[in-house]
Amino acid sequence: MASNNHSPALEILVRGPEDFSLWTGPPFANAQPAVKLDKVKCSNAKFCDDGSKLMVTKSNSLITVYDCNTAKEIRSFDVPNVVAATLSPSGTYLQTFQKPSAPQDKNVSLWNIDTGVPVYQHSLKNITKANWPAVQFSSDEATACRLATNEVQFFDTGDFSKGVVCRLRVPGVAAAELSSSPGSHVAAFVAESKVCVLQC
């Protein structure tokens, strides 16, 4: 989606027990960094991969996204009972996981940061290192996929309303990972099966 041809300026995130500050990186004027954001209360802070946006969890329901060039707030999202959140590589999307209150709750949401609207939602019982983030992106955000039962599902990143546009059938798939650049490769892990060993 959004592609920057140049690297953003180096910035320093200074994390305290209950807050963070954002400083300018070198070269320093007067041999000291300048403060871009000072002491913002938070429980978590993380840059997107390209460094253009900063996601800040301010409470168990409020997530704020900042533009790193201007240090201005782009948008805040009120997501009750949020357990995990992450930004897509270029900071186009915010992905959240909420603690499910009912089995069919659509508790994984992919939010467009510019509009503040969820563009895709689905249900997930719990998250692990193998399945989070639930929707994976290539570094240029041209490709997106998610792991489902016995398959890897792909999306049109220009229009998530189309839903799943392609399915890669992999019986018994336990984990999958999309290559970051280019997003044309996917690795899938299938756990060893006694039936498979006997048949092989």
In a domain, 29, yes or no: yes
126-152 pLDDT, tens per residue? Answer: 898 878 999 999 999 999 999 999 999
What CA–CA distance (Å, rounded) separates 54 from 159?
24
* Distances in whole angstroms, Cα of residue 77 to Cα of each of 41, 109, 134, 137: 16, 11, 19, 21
Band of pLDDT at residue 197, cut at 50, 70 and 90: very low
| Mean pLDDT of the chain, nearest integer | 88
60-78 pLDDT, tens per residue? Answer: 789 999 999 899 999 999 9
What residues are paired with 185 via a beta bridge? Answer: none
Does 30 lie in the same domain as 79?
no
Does 56 lie in the same domain as 23?
no
In a domain, 169, yes or no: yes
Number of folded domains that form the chain: 2
What domain range includes position 32?
A: 1-41
pLDDT at 136: 96
Band of pLDDT at residue 198, cut at 50, 70 and 90: very low
**pLDDT beyond 80 at 183:** no
In a domain, 66, yes or no: yes
Does 71 lie in the same domain as 29?
no
161-174 pLDDT, tens per residue? Answer: 999 999 999 999 99
Sign for the pseudo-dihedral over CA of 29, 32, 38, 43 = positive
> Is residue 45 helix, strand or coil?
strand
Find where tokens 């839903």 sit.
163
What residues are paired with 72 via a beta bridge? Answer: 67
Does 127 lie in the same domain as 92?
yes
Does 136 lie in the same domain as 59?
yes
Q: Do 113 and 91 meet the contact criterion of CB atoms below 8 Å apart?
A: yes
**pLDDT beyond 70 at 123:** yes
- Gyration radius of the chain's alpha carbons: 19
Find where tokens 């092989």 sit.
200
pLDDT at 4: 53
pLDDT at 2: 53
